A and B are shown apart, each in its own frame.
Chain A
Amino acid sequence: MKMPDDRFAAAWEAFREADAAIQAPPHLEAAVFASLDASARPRARLLTRLYLPMAAAAAIAMAWAWFGARSHPAPAPLEARALPPAPLPSALVPDRVTVTAARRRSVPTVVDPRAEDPPVVLMMFEPMPGPPTEPLQLVRLRVPGEALLALGVTLFEPDAAGMVDIDLLVGEDGLPKDMRKVRVQQEEQ
């Protein structure tokens, strides 16, 4: 069935009006200028971290050299004297030098845990930011149990097919806020 022209025009006009009313969200400006600051920061950081300490070190060195030259008279120039060559101690001279190629060891390397502290990774879970009055949408999903295991969720037991039905609460920013398992109650015959 072909849509009448006037109906299509009305729909397009409604869309155009709705689109024209859209404004960029207020947080966008702050985000844009924060990104600009972040992109400009490396140059400033390079200036403060590299050039300023170098300039300060050069100034200190010059001042130290200048004051040192004024407070102490110049020492008399040293005379170079040639020393007679001395033989090396016999303990340091090996009888025969044998060079062997290092063989690759097939034994796996075992690191002594006491040798150095193992890296510690701390994971902190924080509640998602957002006002409590944020409109949420409920999305029901059927996902493999392994997918939840990969996320670290082990509380939901999959069914015989290995699938789990979950409800997701999705916020305005598109991020999931909460999750629960869908429990299907069987009607008793």
Chain B
Amino acid sequence: MSDSSRPAAPDRARLSQAAAGDTEAFAEIYRQYQSVVYRFGYAMTGSEAAADDIAQETFVALFRDLRRYDPDRASFTTYLYGIVRNLSRERIRRDRRFLPLDVLTGARRVSAGVDPAKALEGAQLAGQVRRALHKLPTRYRELIVLCDLHGMSYADAAAVAEITTSAVRSRLHRGRQLLRRHLERIAGPHPLAAIRTERCAI
């Protein structure tokens, strides 16, 4: 349950240029991290529109506060994830009364693959996991997204979530259990489970 497809952190010179207001340097950082930030916002909120807003606010906040970033205190990735995590939590708190349509309907485009049936089945499964993930409390959801989906280490996730590493471990354990339970409810019984098998003697 891990994915280490996160981009490499930008070098200090690039960060210094961006912090000094160099738009080209900032654009390079933006293109490097846009998908990661958008995916995190989408996984946390389950809504494309909210993910759009979160990504936009994240990069505006990053551009505004980049000069305050201290590379000796935390890695750039941890710093960026901290911003997007705080904005996602704020958005979730604000939109608590609403349930996003994307999660309700699983309205994610199915990419045109080689086998449409397989692609459709995969999209259906992915939609079920996304709905189950959205049912988790935020404190479990964010750690599952950070560690299991974005491949972040426990130490980095602890720095992002501002908790201890042992708390990350226990929350992840509990979150995975809850995720599996929600997924069981959403997905229903396996089709083969309805077939009663009997032991037979040959």
Contacts and interface: CB of A to CB of B under 8 A. Distances in A.
A24 interface: yes
A156 to B, nearest CB: 23
Nearest to B102: A174
A19 B123 CA distance: 10
A173 B49 contact: yes
Nearest to A9: B1
Interface residues of B, number: 49
Given A1-B184, A28-B38, A28-B55, A11 B128 contact: yes
A185 B155 CA distance: 62
A36 B60 contact: yes
Contacts of B31: 29
Contacts of A22: 35, 38-39, 42
Interface stretch (B68-76, B86-94, B104-112, B135-143): B104-112
Interface residues of A, number: 35
B20 interface: no
Interface in B105-146: 105, 107-108, 111, 121-123, 125-126, 128-130, 133
Contacts of B149: 16, 19
A132 interface: no
Given A17-B126, A19-B149, A137 B107 contact: yes
Contacts of B107: 137
A35 B193 contact: no
Contacts of A173: 49
Interface in A1-26: 1-4, 7-8, 10-12, 14-25
Interface in A96-140: 137, 139
Interface string A123-165: 0000000000000010100000000000000000000000000
Interface of A: 1-4, 7-8, 10-12, 14-25, 28-29, 31-33, 35-36, 39, 137, 139, 170, 172-174
14 contacts: A12-B148, A14-B121, A14-B125, A14-B126, A19-B39, A19-B42, A22-B39, A24-B34, A29-B30, A31-B52, A31-B56, A32-B59, A35-B56, A39-B60
Interface of B: 1, 3, 5, 23, 26-27, 30-31, 34-35, 37-39, 42-43, 47-49, 52, 55-56, 59-60, 63-64, 100-101, 105, 107-108, 111, 121-123, 125-126, 128-130, 133, 148-149, 180, 183-184, 187, 189-190, 193
